[in-house]
Structure 1
């Protein structure tokens, strides 16, 4: 080649190398940030101990609250909350921010950003046998049929839907049948494809795949903890007129929240005091120490007598005054 051609090719190679270097630097910054977050979270997990259990649980609750608002796409409030609690490295704001951008585009009926996200994560999505990208292509195809652009719809189907035939043959054959129907069809099989709620299905589909990609539960930790707590408290006695005032289920609001949850069975359960080895029931109720451990009333009162009303936890050695103890509610 001539000298000019060599200079042109070398200039192009240098340009590519500079672009590669820039991308590598960006990825290195991202990796460094992620490693820092992992280190912060590991350090946080290592701080959990009996001595600071209350503080650690308070921090866990703050993380759960931030996570809840992130899932609701209220990124601004979640960010302010995380900054207030100084837990930015313990929550995934940037991850959910990326998700919110895609969700907003889908709500505006814009598919290209979601397709770009699929292309960026195609290897991992293929491992999950994800249908999300196919559903995006299907929706674009339906939108072409909606405006009655059949020639462009045919080209689109050949280029972007046909390659999915080996993977999702039945679904592909079904959507191809939409050629024979109009937007206002009364055929239920194809009427659903033209409905506006298909965009809502795409949003939910994206959320599921996004959660799988990042190892996030579909339900928020707040919902999970709330359901677990209500299930433990929900017993038949609460609905048979024997519900004491201390029981949260004496309030209609809690009953409403737990309507769809199963009853908890406590018929064969027993609480035995660690100190006296006697059962703890409504006659010998458990008292909770500030450190979270609970013992029977009789055992703690016996310990307080002649000891200036001070209690020593037999497990941790923590000392507290009897006035600091709190009754625990027992579900029978």
Structure 2
């Protein structure tokens, strides 16, 4: 958008009122000057006629030339702005028939919009929208979203108390998901206690670690040891230049809010991302225009859309919007699936599960195509991309 904004800025300067910063007069100023010249000529018509070197036609022609020059500049700037916009948005947005005609589709759309306002914390807007629409959102769901944003605000203010209360109530749910949320909350509090203490008295932080972090020792053994070992590098000035410098970084606490929002949304059966925002970001970011262009090309070539429920073109997506594996097995050249996931063998190379089984021998070893020696296939682990 930089090119479009640059051309728009030029057009605004050309059409702006004249000032000390603008070297040439605007069209409005040129017209005013022409009008003033004509009025002056009318009042002094006799003197103008007698002066053969300064006729009325010459005066009008000079002013008209100024106006024509300004118009040419504006037309040129407008054309460049249009070209810049066309270059940024090369295809028109698709036009489809109205998809929200039935009562069910209208209700689904209104519910999606209402949930968007609630999930993004726009509670006043959500209240007004619910009053003016037919969307039906249970009161308890509204209360839950209010609680979510209240806890997120507390985390932003370095208060983990409300978040810990929620994690304790939902500990079974978090453990079933293998979520580290509760551990990360205690870790954040421990680090704050440690950095706020003096070198001579780290005991409050260590006591907190023994009371709250030790129950997570089995699942986070390496991290637990790092948290206690970093005490020997206090105070903060030494810690920041030690192997544990990452523990003193403010970014250590930044992941609490998105992680809590993710787990809270999962407890409600919802995705971490707001659907309406995802649709707007992906579609408005160029996907709709590309798909429409592809449809037009296929229609002109009389080709059919893919029958495998996939797009015939690539749509660039940010990492957070990639919802499936993008691993392609280097042996079979097939993309991994849920039934054929990527597997890492003991040598460190990754191949698809089907390829692993084909290469595996009865001894439980596999001849990796990239290693001179055999590796254990029984030690292969599932890799998530």
TM-score (norm 1): 0.51
Correspondence list, 1:236-255, <5 A: none
| Cα 1:85/1:168, change in 2 over 3 Å | same
Larger radius of gyration: 2
Question: Does structure 2 conserve the Cα–Cα contact (< 8 Å) formed by 1:69 and 1:78?
Answer: yes
In structure 2, C-alpha distance between the alignment counterparts of 1:115 and 1:233, rounded to whole Å: 40
Larger RCO (alpha carbons 8 Å, 6+ apart): 1
Residue 146 and residue 183 in structure 1: after superposition, are their counterparts in 2 closer, same or farther (change >3 A)?
farther
Q: Which residue of 2 aligns with 1:74?
A: 122
Equivalent residue, structure 2, for 1:131: 180
Which of these residues, 245, 248, 258, is aligned with residue 191 of structure 1?
Answer: 245
Does the Cα contact within 8 Å between 2:111 and 2:135 map onto a contact in 1?
A: yes
Q: Secondary structure at the match of 1:73?
A: coil
Give secondary structure in 1 for the equivalent of 2:278: helix
Corresponding residue to 1:61 among 97, 100, 109? 109
Match of 2:223 among 160, 168, 171: 171
Residue 167 of structure 2: aligned partner: 118
Q: CA separation in 2, counterparts of 1:220 and 1:51? A: 21
Residues 181-260 of structure 1 aligned to structure 2 (within 5 Å): 181=233, 182=236, 185-187=239-241, 190-227=244-281, 229-230=283-284, 234=288
Structure-2 change in CA distance of 1:67 and 1:127 (3 Å)? same
* SS in structure 1 at match of 2:254: helix
1:150 to 1:269, Cα distance in 2 relative to 1, 3 A = farther
Contact 1:135/1:202 (CA < 8 Å) preserved in 2? yes
Q: Which residue of 1 aligns with 2:349?
A: none
Unaligned runs of 5+ in 1: 1-49, 238-262, 273-332
Report deviation, 1:221: 1.6
1:17-69 Cα shifts (integer Å, max 9, x gaps)? xxxxxxxxxxxxxxxxxxxxxxxxxxxxxxxxx99834433333322222222
Equivalent of 1:162 in 197, 203, 214: 214
For residues 210-261 of structure 1, give each alpha carbon's deviation from its aligned partner in whole angstroms, at most 9, with x where no partner exists: 1222211122121233356458855569xxxxxxxxxxxxxxxxxxxxxxxx
**1:79-127 CA deviation, whole Å, 9 max, x = no partner?**
2222222424368322211211211211121111111111111111110
Change (3 A) 1:189 1:204: farther
1:84 aligns with 2:138: no
Tell me how many residue pairs correspond in the alignment.
198
Q: In the alignment, what sits opposite 1:19?
A: none
Alpha-carbon separation, structure 1, partners of 2:290 and 2:251: 40
CA-atom RMSD in angstroms: 3.3
* Residue pair 1:233, 1:264 contacting (<8 A) in 2 also: no
Q: TM-score scaled to structure 2, two decimals?
A: 0.45
1:191 and 1:129 map into 2 onto residues whose CA distance is 27
